[in-house]
A and B are shown apart, each in its own frame.
Chain A
Amino acid sequence: MEKSNWILSDVLGAIWVAVTYLFLYIPIFVLVVFSFNNAKFPYRWVGFTFKWYEELFVSSEIWAATQNSFFVGILAVFFSLFFSLLFVIWVSRSKKRKLFALFYPNLIVPEVVVSVGLLSLFVFLHVPLGLMSLVVTHTLLGMGYAIPIIQARYDALDYRIVEASLDLGATFSQTIVKIIIPALKPALISAALLVFIISLDDFILAFFCAGTSAQTLSLYIFAMIRTGVSPVVNALATLMLVVSSLLVFVFCSLQSRTRMW
């Protein structure tokens, strides 16, 4: 009797899992399929074409937006990882662990609230809005994710190795470069990927704080969807899916060594 309960639940569970994967992937699949659709009005299948990809590759606007997004993303990754690493090492050595709590609200306060706060402050102080204000806000958001990830790995570090290095005559900066950073590498890579993806994905902060001149990929996609849908967006989506699949592959193979959540 009990045995049959388990079998029944396994069958229902398998069906449920399959349905959920279909729910997750049917929209994505349709999106990709329609990037090859030979029609301007995009909801009905007409025929096969590559022309939207050609249009995508010659569009200077999209490439400018992509460059901007990568510029912001890379700088945000660099700053947030650098600041987080210094901060984690400092806090762990000086036993002021309560300071970590200062960064929790980054993940809890809704982005809309943070962005209107930043927007009104920037406007009040006449700070010019643009790509640099985006770097500032994405670094802030990134630290909220990077600090817990790096901290978890740092806490798991065998501190005797650090002591050994110092005992054997290495200076503290040598120890950081040769011992601590290599030991933290999986966490640093995970954090970098995550911050980069979050920056690339961010729409709300960009919408409020980028001003009128700076265009990122998310802002561009939003404008395209709002003003007039074109299959070029589908082609762009397909390319971005390929890139994020690669990143997910890297991330998941790291996951087997470090846990993020």
Chain B
Amino acid sequence: MDREELSEPLSFFWGIPALVWQVLFFYVPLSFLISTSFVKYSQDLESSRVTFEYYLDLFRPVYGYIIGRSILLALTTVVVCFCIAYPVAYFLVLRTQRWKTLSFSLLVLPFWTNFLLLVYSWYFLLENDGLLNTLLLKIGLISSPLHIMNTKIAVYCGMFYCYLPFMLLPLYSTFTRLNPKLIEASQDLGATYWQTFFRITFPLTIPGIQTGALLVFVPAFGEFVIPALLGGDKNMYIGSVISHYFLTVRKVGLGSAFTCLCALILVGGLLAGALVTKLYSGRGRYGEK
């Protein structure tokens, strides 16, 4: 064994399983999905032809409403989860010394619990004879139970609850990587509380905010479990439409076109988001530990 042999590349066979798997079950299906959105299949493959009609079918206001509603849902979820999670991560990491492992474990636990059970737990809070209504009736704020289940409010509650951990964890880990000496230095040099926050703490946690926003926005945009369980049948979101086309009515062509359109919108949105944060944080980043 000599030095040359050490830097000698391993045989290509080592990488093959992962690469083949990835290409065969990720890139091929996605390409297939894109191609089915452009092809009108007939009984015999000979007379199948390329078509744009599925995409033309999508130019109807109802699809616009559905996509708009999903974007609104995902954006609201990102913003609300951020507003709840940011102060929590800030105080748990920077302002507390004790019980760190315990408080962190308690934050992680909901993330490791089956998603459906988290959604299900809201039945007990929001149903007509659930905890919330019982409490409000007892206090006397309302005289008859509020109908919250199967409305948009229930969907939003479920979304905030289920996606909070996805925002909390990346923020928590960015705060742990932040060097507290920078905050002390800023204090010593005479910055006020808010100056320190806006010029030191906040800019340094932007990467965590980006990760959190990404982890929440992407699945929230395609979410269909929470609307299906808490929202009743009235409110359609893109996830519900996709599953309707593929599993219920089996209009694969139209379903593929709709899926591709949504994916395109998602990619566009993510690129726009990346651009905005790049412009904002382009003013210089310093002092990561």
Contacts and interface: CB of A to CB of B under 8 A. Distances in A.
A6 B193 contact: yes
A218 B124 contact: no
A137 B25 contact: yes
B103 to A, nearest CB: 8
A253 B108 CA distance: 12
B97 to A, nearest CB: 12
B117 A20 contact: no
Contact of A28 (B12, B121, B266): B121
18 contacts: A13-B95, A14-B91, A24-B161, A27-B118, A27-B122, A28-B121, A43-B123, A90-B10, A102-B19, A112-B243, A114-B29, A117-B32, A120-B246, A140-B21, A197-B112, A203-B115, A218-B114, A253-B101
B38 to A, nearest CB: 13
Which of A143, A221, A248 has the most chain B CB within a 10 Å cutoff?
A: A248
A147 B22 CA distance: 12
A5 B218 contact: no
Contacts of B1: 166-167, 169
Interface string A166-206: 11010000000000000000000000000001001101100
Nearest to B28: A121
Given A89-B14, A120-B256, A221-B116, A94 B29 contact: no
Interface stretch (B53-61, B136-144, B221-229): B221-229
A247 B15 CA distance: 30
Interface string B121-158: 11111011111001000000000000000000000000
A139 B18 CA distance: 10
B192 interface: yes
Interface residues of A, number: 95
A90 B11 CA distance: 8
A42 B123 CA distance: 10
A222 B252 CA distance: 24
Contact of B125 (A30, A42, A166, A252): A30
Nearest to A6: B193
A157 interface: no
Nearest to A137: B25
Contact of B30 (A26, A95, A113): A113
Contacts of A256: 101
A158 interface: no
B115 A201 contact: yes
Contacts of A90: 9-10, 12, 14-15
B56 to A, nearest CB: 21
Interface string A90-132: 1101110001001101101111111011111100100000000
B183 to A, nearest CB: 11
Contacts of A71: none
A86 B15 contact: yes
Which of A25, A44, A117 has the most chain B CB within a 10 Å cutoff?
A: A117
Q: Which A-B residue pairs are the 4 nearest by beta carbons?
A: A117-B29, A90-B14, A110-B222, A13-B91
Contacts of A20: 84-85, 88, 164
Nearest to B157: A27
